[in-house]
Chains A and B, each alone.
Chain A
């Protein structure tokens, strides 16, 4: 049942723990989403799965095959579409696919047929014979995806495949992924778009700072939060201190739990309220007693962002802004050169 098993996986880069003791199981034919902010370790994990870098610790098996010991066999099983697309500018799309097919030893007779099939599936007829250097972002993604699919891999690994794409390209990719999944392909996809994971994934792992925070079916994760998601403001933009005071008040009320201050939304207070009749009245009374008014009170369906917020105390967006300042991308790309 567990087609892919990742056990106690760890990877360090000098002083950064990119992955810490990761445990993940993925079943055959599922679409598995990897959700996390910038610098969470998504690419590191996917590169390990693609045999591009080796883990410091832990074990990965795909279909019972050890990923470190049997690299060649693993490479035949997987198709990898990297986060950074790198095509040969001078080759045409068709030449690139032809080249890729030869690297995977696809026989001549099947090669043309497969390439033609993918050209149609990804709607590339109009530009496939142009040089890759002239492609737009969406075209590059599509040709890169086609290259990853040529050898009909059992597992398709995609690292943020729709970042910055036009809607047309995104929809083509989403539709194709759904189709491939229905045909039995196991797909692993990283993203920091909640709606993408929500729409596509059967199972999701949320990672942050190299650690797994939570995993499961997206709707299960959301329902696990229980209660009603409420966002409260006592002023349009509160100060952190004020919000802390309100948090203390809320803390004392029965039926309110998991209170988090959301700095991304003017220090509003997000919490879960039990479905009780007079909770709202109780809340109003307690706030009034401490001279606070309710500026706004909104209810919402739990989203994956709530799951994330609950687990880390930060919104996904916050976490991204935080990480963005900490990384030296140039240095990283130098260091990841082989």
Chain B
């Protein structure tokens, strides 16, 4: 890439155009957005009902199962959205639309990646707010101002982490069938092997170990804490088999994961895009 021609305004213009295209697609085909909001709400109802008589004493720091579940569903929604973020790129590859981008004198082809990040981040914020609002109406509470900050910071990290992996897969895998298959295989197991639906104390020890290394858990726990009234980053968020993790620990781990995934995929994306 010829760095001397790097122009910030151009980068803005191309990234904006790419992002705008994704949003126009969303507007004209809103089913993914709607499904992304409906699914977790249905879960909230169903699982909330299913476990409504679960002994509350076992659930750390909350007063009902629905209250416990909210954080898991917010994270799961953002996670699913980010996992799917490679699909539009895959279709662009398959239908040759990507060539249109590749023959254009883009200031940096990272704008293609950047636009996907922006799109998924905004999308998952919209979905999360919708879920939070509905779970508030169901009487499961709402985070305070500082808590909201934690929610969104955590979501951004998770979305960056998962989106970068998904975009990478969109370049590596041969076609959308394979990508969809992989998403399908990864999606639910990662949910069940996290603390989204049950605390580690409910799990057999092998699953507890897995859950306490699952990136979803690192995102879920701080958000769960942000729902409690006394928000404190040094609050113990997770009793992992290897020791207690505070909110700060969880977010730091997520941060490290995100940065390392960006560092790892960068050369690959560069190679595919240049």
Q: Are A and B physically bound partners?
A: yes
Residues in chain A within 8 A of chain B (CB atoms): 50-52, 70, 72-73, 75-76, 78, 80, 82, 84, 86-88, 90-91, 95, 98-100, 102-105, 147, 334, 337-338
Chosen A-B contacts, 8 in total, with CB atoms closer than 8 Å, are A70-B2, A72-B2, A90-B29, A95-B21, A102-B13, A103-B105, A105-B14, A337-B93
Q: Which of A70, A82, A102 has the most CB of B within 10 A?
A: A102
- Closest chain-A Cβ to B190's Cβ sits at a distance in Å of 28
Using A103-B106, A334-B175 as known contacts, list a sample of 13 further A-B pairs with CB atoms less than 8 Å apart, ordered by residue number in A: A50-B103, A51-B102, A75-B104, A82-B96, A84-B96, A86-B99, A90-B28, A99-B21, A102-B16, A103-B14, A103-B101, A337-B94, A338-B102
- Complex CA gap A95/B22 in Å reads 12
- Closest chain-B Cβ to A150's Cβ sits at a distance in Å of 10
Q: From B5, which residue of chain A is reached at the shortest CB distance? A: A72
Q: Which residues of B contact A70 (CB under 8 A)?
A: 2
- Complex CA gap A160/B148 in Å reads 56
B96 contact from A86, A91, A98, A99, Cβ within 8 A: A86
Interface residues of B in 77-116 (CB under 8 A from A): 93-107
- Closest chain-A Cβ to B177's Cβ sits at a distance in Å of 12
- Complex CA gap A231/B24 in Å reads 60
- Complex CA gap A99/B112 in Å reads 13
Q: From B17, which residue of chain A is reached at the shortest CB distance? A: A102
| B99 touching A90, Cβ below 8 Å | no
Across the A-B interface, the 5 shortest Cβ-Cβ residue pairs: A102-B17, A86-B96, A75-B105, A103-B104, A76-B105
- Complex CA gap A104/B24 in Å reads 20
B45 within 8 A of A: no
Q: Which residues of A contact B17 (CB under 8 A)?
A: 98-99, 102-103
Interface residues of B in 170-215 (CB under 8 A from A): 171, 174-175
B100 contact from A98, A100, A102, A105, Cβ within 8 A: A100
Q: Which residues of B contact A87 (CB under 8 A)?
A: 97
Q: Which residues of A contact B106 (CB under 8 A)?
A: 103
Interface residues of B in 240-274 (CB under 8 A from A): 272
- Complex CA gap A334/B174 in Å reads 8
B229 within 8 A of A: no
- Complex CA gap A50/B272 in Å reads 17
| A72 touching B105, Cβ below 8 Å | yes
Q: Which of A52, A76, A103 has the most CB of B within 10 A?
A: A103
Q: Which residues of A contact B16 (CB under 8 A)?
A: 102
Q: From B96, which residue of chain A is reached at the shortest CB distance? A: A86
Q: A102-B17, A337-B94, A338-B93 are contacts. A78–B25 as well, Cβ < 8 Å?
A: no
- Complex CA gap A22/B92 in Å reads 31
Q: A90-B28, A99-B21 are contacts. A80–B103 as well, Cβ < 8 Å?
A: yes
B51 within 8 A of A: no
B10 within 8 A of A: yes
- Closest chain-B Cβ to A333's Cβ sits at a distance in Å of 8
Q: A52-B99, A88-B97 are contacts. A338–B272 as well, Cβ < 8 Å?
A: yes
- Complex CA gap A334/B176 in Å reads 12
- Closest chain-A Cβ to B55's Cβ sits at a distance in Å of 50
Q: Which residues of B contact A105 (CB under 8 A)?
A: 7, 10, 13-14, 105, 107
Interface residues of B in 1-50 (CB under 8 A from A): 1-2, 5, 7, 10, 13-14, 16-17, 20-21, 24-25, 28-29
| B24 touching A52, Cβ below 8 Å | no
| A95 touching B104, Cβ below 8 Å | no
Q: Which residues of A contact B25 (CB under 8 A)?
A: 88, 90
| B14 touching A102, Cβ below 8 Å | yes
| B21 touching A52, Cβ below 8 Å | no
| B14 touching A90, Cβ below 8 Å | no
Q: Which residues of A contact B101 (CB under 8 A)?
A: 103
Q: Which residues of B contact A91 (CB under 8 A)?
A: 21, 24
- Complex CA gap A100/B105 in Å reads 11
Q: Which residues of B contact A90 (CB under 8 A)?
A: 24-25, 28-29
- Closest chain-A Cβ to B150's Cβ sits at a distance in Å of 36
- Complex CA gap A99/B106 in Å reads 13
Q: Which residues of A contact B171 (CB under 8 A)?
A: 338
Q: Which residues of A contact B103 (CB under 8 A)?
A: 50-52, 75, 78, 80
Q: Which residues of B contact A98 (CB under 8 A)?
A: 17
- Complex CA gap A86/B106 in Å reads 19
- Closest chain-B Cβ to A161's Cβ sits at a distance in Å of 16
Interface residues of B in 111-161 (CB under 8 A from A): none
- Closest chain-A Cβ to B237's Cβ sits at a distance in Å of 42
- Complex CA gap A87/B21 in Å reads 12
A86 contact from B10, B100, B104, Cβ within 8 A: B100
- Complex CA gap A102/B99 in Å reads 16
Q: From A75, which residue of chain B is reached at the shortest CB distance? A: B105
Q: Which residues of A contact B175 (CB under 8 A)?
A: 334
- Complex CA gap A80/B102 in Å reads 11
- Complex CA gap A169/B93 in Å reads 28
- Complex CA gap A70/B2 in Å reads 8
- Complex CA gap A82/B96 in Å reads 9
A104 contact from B97, B98, B104, Cβ within 8 A: B104
| A82 touching B14, Cβ below 8 Å | no
- Complex CA gap A84/B107 in Å reads 25
- Complex CA gap A75/B5 in Å reads 13
Q: Which residues of B contact A338 (CB under 8 A)?
A: 93, 98-99, 102, 171, 272
